[in-house]
Amino acid sequence: MAGSPSVPAARSIMRKARAWKPRSARATSDGRPDPAAGRLRQRRRRQEHADRPPAACDGQCPRRRTRSTGQRQLAARNARCPARLCVAAGRPGRRARTGHHDRCRLAPFAYTAPTVLIADCPGHVEYTRNMATGASTADAMLLLVDASKGLSPQTLRHTAIAALLGVRDVVLAVNKMDRVGFQQAPFEAIRAAYRSHCEALGILRVTAVPVAAADGDNVSHPSPRLGWLEGPSVLAAIEALPATGHLQQVDCMPVQGLLRTADGARWYAGTWQGRPLTCSALLRVAPSGRAVAVDALYVAGTSAVEAQDGDAITLRLADEVDAGRGDVLLRDMDDCEHSDQCLADLLWFDDTPMLPGRRYMCRTPGRTTGMRIGELKHRLDPVSLQPLAERQLVANDIGRATIALDAPITFAPYSTSRALGAFVIVDPVSHATLGAGMIRHGLRRADNLHWQALDIDRDARAAMKGQRARCIWFTGLSGAGKSTIANRVERTLHARGIHTYLLDGDNVRHGLNRDLGFTEADRVENLRRVSEVARLMADAGLVVLVSFISPYRAERAAARAMFDAGDFVEVFVDAPLAEVERRDPKGLYAKARRGELPNFTGIDAPYEAPESPEIVLDALRQDPSTLAGQVVAYLAATD
């Protein structure tokens, strides 16, 4: 994965192998590798959506994209490769230097043993997410280190990520042995240190191999310059890897597509995971648990009587059932859980820190739902493997946290099912992929929590008051006039007999949020609590006015998501930084400029202006009374 920054290991190994067996291997009529061919088969392609994190690596091409016959044949062969190997070239290369995105590539590889599907991944730190993509479907890992440099932090980080993603076999290629004079001592030191590291991670088997890839030493045949070695070459070590298959103890298919034919039949599309599936097999629909038999089956667009692990399939059920995208077809309901809370290991990709309490989107095969990351239990130090107390995760960090979802999902521990145990974390505003998660187990407290149905709801309470319950959310820089305008709006509404309540940022921090500071994590939690309070007040039938700086779009979007369409009104009090600094009624900007107030919005902490608020108030050119009148007029027009 990492290590030598100057030797592209995977390409070197394949280049040497091609020199000995250059002809392409034969294939059988159904597209499978011919075991009798015994020649190297080298075929490369770009993996579609290869930069997606583990939960998205389901082996299917994106919708609305047609694969050629050759691509379909390659996909069929890939699904049947008895072993999958994650390989990384440690050199950044041209794409890294120019800032272009490099992707991991898939290549079937056959010499004398059964075919191995290689995921060739870049090893540079900027491409950790690509390495995670390759490792997410790998059975084993070929790891390159520089004999003259030893184990780097990035090497150990990639090992920790691979272990987290279920890799249990490693071929450790200690490269550039020529730089240490082909001596045994440096090799033994690296092997001993790495094996000790792997034992702590639960990696079962490590095969260390000394090589000098530039000259082909011990790549495919033993080298006379490594006469002291009693072990295999790199190629022999790869061929000896057990075809362990994926971490797949659950036979299942998450439903990713629902198709209807002209005769009205319903077909369910997805990727089958687990033991072979045959026509007439009995499956259960999660979460309902209803049992139903498979009536017809297609694999890669061709009618079939059996589907193997990893096959992209479409099936028809014998009976009509209530199932759709996001539901799961599986053999045994005891293999999964259905809950909205779980404990998960997280791998963070984005430069923006992961903050507990912030609202994100959780994407699983076929379903996307809102989520919040609750308590961050710890961050894992990839070098010492010690859990460290942290309040956030940054790019390439590994951590463990509790997850709370907006709606229950069907899942299984990642250790038993990669298909049901993985998810992707997505930014709800930009829809960028931020990280990936691997579920450890559900939280029992979720089973004890049930939403109590009440006879009197928001509409009934609001109707009793003769008004529409809403949330009016004022946002803007400190000193822009939010509280002044909100106060005048409330005074006008109160005079008209409308029941209101004003939540002011400073006032709330005197009580409910007095334990919070002004770091990014504390601001996120501050707004989360206020959003929940605002929702409760709106449920009481009130018109609630919220006056907070609320600098982050994500938190404002999370607050909006708590209300029905039209019941959340975002008001942007627009005042330039120079103007609010000139006003500075509390002297806060002056203190911030002197360094006495760290994390002050607009000075050393960002403010993300709304992109499409319902109301924009020009606080530079108009007085508060006029601006308050604009808000009242909008509320009257949309009531």
3-state SS of 508-572? HCCCCCCCCCCCHHHHHHHHHHHHHHHHHHHHCCCEEEEECCCCCHHHHHHHHHCCCCCCEEEEE
Tokens for 377, please give them: 């239990």
Q: How far apart are alpha carbons 170 and 415 in whole angstroms?
A: 18
Query: Does 70 show up as a binding residue in the annotation?
Result: no
Q: What angle do CA 468, 472, 478 make, to 5 degrees?
A: 165
Of the candidates 4, 417, 531, 550, the residue annotated as catalytic is 550
* Structure tokens that stand for 481 in this block: 């006039």
The CA-based diameter of the chain, rounded to the nearest angstrom, is 95
Q: Please tell me whether residue 612 adopts helix, strand or coil conformation.
A: coil
Q: 482 a known binding residue?
A: yes
- d(CA 229, CA 236) in angstroms, rounded, equals 14
Residue partners of 159: CB distance under 8 A and separation at least 6: 1, 141, 143, 170, 194, 197, 198, 201, 203, 382
The angle at the Cα of 247, spanning 220 to 112, to the nearest 5 degrees, equals 25
User: Would you call 68 helix, strand, or coil by DSSP?
Assistant: coil
**What's phi and psi for 212, nearest 5 deg?**
-130, 85
Per the structure block, which two tokens stand in for 208? Answer: 């260390």
Task: Tell me if 577 is assigned to a ligand binding site.
Answer: no
Give residues with Cβ within 8 angstroms of 462, minimum separation 6. 468, 469, 541
User: Quick check: helix, strand or coil at residue 330?
Assistant: strand
Q: Please give, one letter per residue, the 3-state secondary structure of 191-227.
A: HHHHHHHHHHHCCCEEEEEECEHHHCECCCCCCHHHC
Classify 205 in phi/psi space as left (phi over 0), alpha (psi -120 to 50) or beta. Answer: beta
481 annotated to a ligand binding site: yes
| Beta strand 140-146 pairing with 169-175 | parallel
d(CA 610, CA 559): 13
Beta strands 169-175 and 205-210 are parallel
Angle at 160 between CA 158 and CA 165, to 5 degrees: 95
Here the tokens at position 167 are 């890799």
99 is known to lie in a ligand binding site: no
Question: Is 415 annotated among the ligand-binding residues?
Answer: no
Backbone angles phi, psi at 601, to 5 degrees: -60, 130
Q: Residue 476, annotated ligand binder?
A: yes
Is 550 designated active site?
A: yes
Helix axes 184-201, 153-164, angle to 10 degrees: 40
**Pairing mode, if any, of strands 282-286 and 290-299?**
antiparallel
Alpha-carbon torsion (538, 540, 546, 551), positive or negative: negative
- Give the Cα separation of 97 and 298 in Å (integer): 44
* Bridge partner residues of 171 (DSSP): 142, 207
Other C-beta atoms within 10 Å of 18: how many? 12
Is 136 annotated as a binding-site member? no
Cα(585)–Cα(592) distance, integer angstroms: 14
Q: Is the Cβ–Cβ distance between 29 and 17 less than 8 Å?
A: no
Compute, in degrees rounded to 10, the torsion defined by CA atoms 435, 602, 569, 497. 140
Residues annotated catalytic, as ranges: 550
Binding site members for ATP: 476-483
Binding site members: 476-483
